[in-house]
Amino acid sequence: MTRASWTVFLVALCLRPAITVVGPMLPQISAAEGLAETTAGILGAVPLLAFAAVSPQVHRLSSRYGIERTVLVSLLVLAVGGVVRSYTGDAGLWLGTVIIGCAIAVGNVLVPAIVKRDFAAQVSRATGVYTAFLTIAASLASAVAVPIAGLADWRLSLAVWSGLALVVAGVWFPRTKSDSSETPRVSATESGSVWRQGHAWLLTAFMGLQSTTFYIMVTWLPTIEVAGGVSQRTAGVHLFLYQGMGIVGGLVIPLLLRRTGTRVAGAVLSSVPLVVAVAGLLTVPSLAVLWVIVAGWGQGAALVAALTLISIGGRTSGETTRLSGMAQSLGYLLAAGGPVLAGVLADRTGSWTASLVALAVLALLQATAALAAALGDRRREPLPALSAQS
């Protein structure tokens, strides 16, 4: 591990703001573009569909061009996508969102592999730091979205994060010089093997349900609160608080995940808070701030739990890349339906109650999948060792 290894956490800063900034801006975007709740939900789902489509192909790109170079290109494409989404008209709103989703998908898959490679002796701790950076940027984007829009408009509020991607690309560039010697190679024996592993499917279910519940909350929490009489600015602050508490959960949960004996408890404890929080939003909405805090802690912890189980599930960085690609591809395909489902239910019923009930059911399924994935990790039979070049 070198000092340059820590720059991977800067990449994490770019992997959520372009998405989480949309939630607080959705009322303004919908008004400006004439989007109904269902259509707005589809807009929120587009990046997830891009994740699902691109994730399985990332290992091919990284094997051909190198991990570091692939990450650099994804950062540059992300910056371009942010500008296209904001400033190229109605069609650009959708095209830019697709570009953003494709670029972020690359980082989603490769960063866990880089963490496993560069921090092999402390994967759960490094994953906690990675998700802390991820969540800090995501929550900051949510908090400043409305103030920036107040100074200019919603287009600048969305586009400003392209600048961050360009800065990080500049910092990342020196790493590409030694890329050819660090690219993970995948043997023919390893190729495609994760799709035949039952444990990989459990991890995919956990990752998918965690992503589904997270993106429902990020996309619709401000709109739900505004519909309940909360100001748009306050709703944006609540979304910031939700994601900010994820930092705490993400940094605390590795204490349980680092040991095999406590990993099951850690996975379950990371998912139960969301069940409690959604039940609270349904039954005691006056305590919304409390439920936002509880949900945020749980979502941050659940993300670290899912990524940690994925990182330790691969025997090499190459296999981890494939496992991450599978879990994120199918997982985000499942997650893409979440914001759309919530929007459709709100459209059909005229309120957000049915959407919250659906979220509660998904939260229960997430907790069940977390338990199954952690038990599967503990019971998993060791696989034949691969060579260091595989």
187 pLDDT tier (thresholds 50, 70, 90): very low
In this predicted structure, what is the pLDDT of residue 375?
Answer: 82
179 pLDDT tier (thresholds 50, 70, 90): low
Taking the domain 8-171+193-379, which CATH number applies?
1.20.1250.20
Amino acid, single-letter form, for residue 369: A
Enter the pTM of the model: 0.74
What does the pLDDT look like over 300-338, one tens digit per residue? Answer: 899 888 888 887 766 666 677 777 778 878 888 888 888
Average pLDDT value for residue range 153-165: 94
> Which residue do the tokens 């914001």 mark?
339
pLDDT at 78 over 90: yes
In this predicted structure, what is the pLDDT of residue 4?
Answer: 62
pLDDT at 182 over 60: no
Mean pLDDT for the chain overall = 83
Percent of the chain with pLDDT over 70: 89
In this predicted structure, what is the pLDDT of residue 165?
Answer: 96
Domain residue ranges of the chain, discontinuous segments joined by +: 8-171+193-379
166 pLDDT tier (thresholds 50, 70, 90): very high
Q: How many CB atoms lie under 10 A from the CB of residue 209?
A: 27
What does the pLDDT look like over 267-281, one tens digit per residue? Answer: 888 989 999 999 998
Average pLDDT value for residue range 222-239: 81
Average pLDDT value for residue range 189-217: 79
Structure-model confidence comparison of residues 263 and 216, the more confident one: 216
pLDDT at 188 over 50: no
Average pLDDT value for residue range 29-36: 85
Q: Among 58-62, 142-146, 316-320, whose mean pLDDT is lowest?
A: 316-320
